Chain A
Amino acid sequence: MLKLIKTTVLTSAAASVTIDSIPQEFKSLKLVISARSNLANVWANGSLSLNGSSANGTFRNLFGMGSGSGYSSSGSTLGVNLGTGASATANTFGSVEIQFPNYASPANKPISIDIVSENNGTDSLQMFNAMLWSNTSAITSITLNADSTNSLLAGSTFYLYGIG
């Protein structure tokens, strides 16, 4: 069963979007994002905060940028790309899907993320990201933060689904 829990549509630019009071009766959460930021790049760097915390995150990813080889990297943050940036073709938004399996369990939380930006030019991002939030608290809120001093732009949409 897939059930829409909450929809957020930005009507003006925002540095972050928070989805809180997440119900605990589902097995997993799926967050679907169609977003664009004003970061001067083709894609939009950003980060997650879970239950208000950006600590205890690690990730490793596999990605391509429209030409050349594929790449892989890792880090110790909850960093996540959130779609297209201001250098991408106008009115074009990225497509992101974030999975939070067993989000209400008393174990550390694995997270998987599938990210694409788009742009009518060679540069674009296609990325898989495996993340671990080393925290045993149930996830009750998710915040998506634009990078640094940038903002997520009007028209960006965020859909949180519960999977029964």
Chain B
Amino acid sequence: MAAVSLNNKTLTRSLLAGNPGFLTGFEHLQSVTVGSLGASSVSFTEIPQNYRHLQVRGVVRSTTASAGQDYMYVRCNGDAGSTYSWHELVGDGASASSSAGTSASFMRVGYAPRASALANAFSPFVFDLLDYSNTVKNKTLRTLTGSDLNGSGYVAERSGAWYSTAAVSGLTLYPEANLFAANSTFSLYGIR
């Protein structure tokens, strides 16, 4: 059964058998919100292989007992070897700089404001992982992130590579030090 809104002529299909369903191009797969005890890492596992790309979005804070921010890292399929690289273009409100990490054990993705940074400040990140199920390509991700702490902070574009042609079936995100703070949130999306 389908319904058509008389206000905006939007066609809405039910999910009853026989209907084509909601074939949107951007689908939520999993979400994690860190509890009151914090978390040393957050993992998405058993990622389905029937999408073209993945996107991960979130807001992050760390429990490190100082001001400023930690970095957030990501690994694929539990691989902790020196099989990654990352690059970044960073602005701090006054100037821009760039840097890199090669033969690294992670990809640098986001920022995580520390426990003594501006209260309740979480830093956002969004990264796209294209052709994640392709078994010919190494995997490249592209990230936009930033951390504004009301007087200091950074904005960054980052890229990362995992030098493996394996399909990505798992992603593990973790802070540079200590734990993700409570209410850090992470969502995984599939893009058709």
A-side residues, CB < 8 A to B, are: 1-4, 7, 32, 34, 62-71, 89, 91-95, 97, 114, 116-122, 124, 126-128, 155, 157, 159, 161
Contacts between the two chains (Cβ within 8 Å), count: 131
A34 CA / B134 CA spacing, docked (Å):
11
B98 at the A interface (CB under 8 A): yes
The B157-180 residues at the A interface (CB cut-off 8 A) are: 157-161, 163, 165
B25 at the A interface (CB under 8 A): yes
In angstroms, how far is the closest chain A Cβ from the Cβ of B143? 8
B-side residues, CB < 8 A to A, are: 24-26, 52-53, 85, 87-91, 95-100, 102-103, 128, 130-131, 134, 136-138, 140-142, 144, 157-161, 163, 165, 191-192
User: A2-B24, A116-B157 in contact; A64/B142 too (CB < 8 A)?
Assistant: no
Residues of A contacting B87 in the complex (Cβ-Cβ under 8 angstroms): 64, 66, 116, 118-119, 124, 126
Q: Is the interface of B mostly helix, strand, loop or mixed?
A: strand
In angstroms, how far is the closest chain B Cβ from the Cβ of A72? 8
Residues of A contacting B96 in the complex (Cβ-Cβ under 8 angstroms): 62, 64, 69-71
Residues of B contacting A155 in the complex (Cβ-Cβ under 8 angstroms): 134, 136-137
Residues of B contacting A95 in the complex (Cβ-Cβ under 8 angstroms): 128, 130, 140-142, 159
Residues of B contacting A114 in the complex (Cβ-Cβ under 8 angstroms): 142, 144, 157
Residues of B contacting A120 in the complex (Cβ-Cβ under 8 angstroms): 85, 102-103, 161, 163
- Say whether A122 contacts B130, CB under 8 Å: no
A92 CA / B53 CA spacing, docked (Å):
16
Nearest to A3 among chain B residues (CB) is B25
User: A1-B24, A2-B25, A64-B88 in contact; A116/B97 too (CB < 8 A)?
Assistant: no
- Say whether B97 contacts A68, CB under 8 Å: yes
- Say whether B25 contacts A91, CB under 8 Å: no
Residues of B contacting A94 in the complex (Cβ-Cβ under 8 angstroms): 140
- Say whether A92 contacts B142, CB under 8 Å: no
- Say whether B161 contacts A128, CB under 8 Å: no
Residues of B contacting A67 in the complex (Cβ-Cβ under 8 angstroms): 98-100
In angstroms, how far is the closest chain A Cβ from the Cβ of B90? 8
Residues of A contacting B142 in the complex (Cβ-Cβ under 8 angstroms): 95, 97, 114, 116
A7 CA / B167 CA spacing, docked (Å):
20
- Say whether A159 contacts B144, CB under 8 Å: no
Nearest to B131 among chain A residues (CB) is A34
A126 CA / B98 CA spacing, docked (Å):
9
